[in-house]
Chain A
Amino acid sequence: MSNTDYLLIFIQFIVAGGFVTLVLFVTHFLGPKRKTSDKLETFECGIESQGNARLPFSIKYFLTAILFVLFDVEVIFLYPWAVNFKEFSSTNMSGFISMSIFMGLLLLGFIYIIKKGALKWE
């Protein structure tokens, strides 16, 4: 493929982008502008907007889900390790030791989570 073949794709990009910009500009200049106070209000499904958008919400479900993903991934690491365990242990203990370090670090993290009360639902 030579360089000129890509030129066509490039032209397509230009046309696509150019069309959008052109239409935006043209509507901006052609359309009449009547700004009333009702029009400038925040639109919220036709209901009058009230209160602040920044409300605290419960993250319990999110926290459980993300911790599940974390330990789920850890188990994925265990599978290939378990399959190759025989070859690891036949030469020396390094395969076992590195996995123990890995599991130890995760275990510490797990204890941290429990101590912080991240898994308490009530």
Chain B
Amino acid sequence: MNSEFLILMKQEMGVTLILFILLFLKIWDGIKENGILLHLINVLLLLNFLLGFVLNQNGELFNGMFATNSLRVMEKSVLNLGTLIISLQAYDYLKSHKHLLEFFMLLLSTLLGMFFMISSNNLLMFYLGIELSSIPLAAMANFDMDKIKSSEAAVKMILSSAFASALMLFGISFLYGTSGTLNFQELVSLITGSPLQVFALLLVFSGFAFKLSAVPFHLWTADVYEGAPVAVTSYLSVISKAAIVFVTLSSLAPLFSHLNEMWYHLLFVTIILTITLGNIFAIRQDNIKRFLAFSSISQVGFILLGISSGTATGATSAIYFLVVYIFSNLGAFGVIALLSSQTGKENISDLKGFYQTNPLMGWVLAISLFSLGGIPPTAGFFGKMFLVTAGAAKGNYVLITIAALNMVISLYYYLRVVKAIFMDKNETPVEPLRGSLSLRLALLICMIGVVGTGFAGGFFEHIYQLAAK
């Protein structure tokens, strides 16, 4: 029994073990060098990532509270890889930070929460996971302790996520009241569409939309992204969003499968609002973090478009897009992390003439933005194409037309940044940036991911095989 327990929860156990080690290191206080600690953490994260490829087994634990299968293991590996890349990129920021170990303890706690959330088979377990993954994030948003903006971000984040949790709990209580169970499999047949359950769907969906920062629940996003340190911003915009989408695919959408018409209408409105408003606001931004915040809002709209199809192809395209999105967004954030940690500049206008002094970093940023915009040789194009094709399966051409038009708008603002990097003249461009080896390694992984995922055709098939089961 015990070996099965360890195998089914291997990734959770891995993260818990890393947390244990970090706490022990903190108390022992033997390693004074932050650089060594960072390398150690990266190696541990890499080991945990590799753990996702061995000993895969499907099964349930804790009386059906916890369930895992190969798809969920893969999703957790993706999150783990993303965290590893962020940790590599944060090298310059954390090298001199005196609360380095606390930073990673909080970060890995949220990762553990996401793992439990993805594997949850019960609303209670799911709620515990979502809380564990959101409360430490607010503390992390406050990690630039001497900046007022950072504390503002943390307060906004904790208040809005508390509000979202309250909405979700309210919905969950309705589900429990009308069905008498919290188990997902039992709930599916008991959710038949009584008014209270429709109301519950609305509430639970609002909670999810808050965490996904889908319009109209997006208002916290830009301020939190701007105030938080770049490492936390990239974690928020990539990992925590991906986790919520994974849960939506594996739990929320199947849970309300009897209410699929209502579910589709909800998604329809949310998608149109999210894509359009995210784009319109992104055009006006000058701060890169705010700009990426709004662009990530509109990307969420596209992911929801894939989810709205309700088929295995839709789920596959959403997961595939998220993998691509992790690589491309982290590529962009890596360059910005370097720029911000060495010069303190975070504006698009500071990027003018960036190519003259930093040709390589200029290309990395440009390729990442091309991928986010969906320009062909990069994987972002394939990701968007699969999403829109999956969304078109319902035959709702209003939705597809709006999505396609918005893709054109999004090209405008992504290319505006590319234009600033390559074409705009500047008398005093940013001085040449010297990134650490970790950061350059992380960017290399991102670039391989951005270009390689698109050409590795088997990858989509692989996810499809897992998702169709």
Which A residues fall within an 8 A CB radius of B? 1, 3, 6, 54, 94, 105, 108-109, 111-112, 115
Residues of B within 8 A of A108 (CB): 20, 23-24, 27
> Which residues in A have their C-beta under 8 angstroms from that of B27?
108, 111-112, 115
Given known contacts A6-B195, A105-B20, is B148 in contact with A112 (CB within 8 Å)?
A: no
- Top 4 closest A-B pairs, CB basis? A108-B23, A6-B195, A111-B27, A112-B27
Taking CB atoms, residues of chain B closer than 8 Å to A115 are 27, 29
- In the complex, B3 has a CB within 8 A of chain A: no
> Does B2 belong to the interface (CB within 8 Å)?
yes
Could you tell me if A94 and B20 are in contact, using CB atoms closer than 8 angstroms? no
- Interface positions, chain B 1-54, Cβ under 8 Å from A, are 1-2, 20, 23-24, 26-27, 29
CA distance A84 to B420 in the complex (A): 67
Cβ of A100 to closest chain B Cβ, rounded Å: 13
Main secondary structure of the interface of A (DSSP, over half): helix
Main secondary structure of the interface of B (DSSP, over half): helix
Give chain B residues whose Cβ lies under 8 Å from the Cβ of A3: 195
Cβ of A6 to closest chain B Cβ, rounded Å: 5
Contacts of B29 in A (CB 8 A): 115
Q: Which residues of B contact A1 (CB under 8 A)?
A: 195
19 A-B pairs with CB atoms under 8 Å apart are A1-B195, A3-B195, A6-B195, A54-B148, A94-B1, A94-B2, A105-B20, A105-B23, A108-B20, A108-B23, A108-B24, A108-B27, A109-B23, A111-B27, A112-B23, A112-B26, A112-B27, A115-B27, A115-B29
A-B contacts at CB below 8 angstroms, number: 19
- Shortest distance in angstroms between B180's beta carbon and chain A's nearest beta carbon? 18
A111 vs B28: C-alpha distance when bound (angstroms): 10
CA distance A111 to B29 in the complex (A): 12
Q: What residues of A have a CB within 8 angstroms of the CB of B20 in the complex?
A: 105, 108
Tell me which residues across on chain A come within 8 A of B24, comparing CB atoms: 108
Residues in A whose Cβ lies below 8 Å from that of B26: 112
Extra inter-chain contacts (16) besides given A108-B20, A111-B27, A115-B27, CB under 8 Å: A1-B195, A3-B195, A6-B195, A54-B148, A94-B1, A94-B2, A105-B20, A105-B23, A108-B23, A108-B24, A108-B27, A109-B23, A112-B23, A112-B26, A112-B27, A115-B29
CA gap between A6 and B199 in the complex, in Å:
11
Closest A residue to B19 by CB, please name it: A105
| Least distance between B87 CB and chain A CB atoms (Å) | 21
- Residues of chain A within 8 A (CB-CB) of B148 are 54
Closest B residue by C-beta to A105? B20
**Which residue among A1, A3, A112 has the maximum number of chain B CB atoms within 10 Å of its CB?**
A112
With both beta carbons as reference points, the residue of chain B lying nearest to A111 in the complex is identified as: B27
CB distance from A49 to the nearest CB of B (A): 19
Q: Which residues of chain B come closer than 8 Å to A105, judged between CB atoms?
A: 20, 23
Residues of B within 8 A of A94 (CB): 1-2
Give the complex CA separation of A1 and B24 in angstroms: 58
Give Cα A3–Cα B193 distance, bound, in whole angstroms: 11
Bound Cα distance from A38 to B20, whole angstroms = 59
Give A6 to B23 CA distance when docked, in angstroms.
Answer: 53
Residue of B nearest to A7 (CB): B195
Quick one: closest B residue to A1, CB to CB?
A: B195
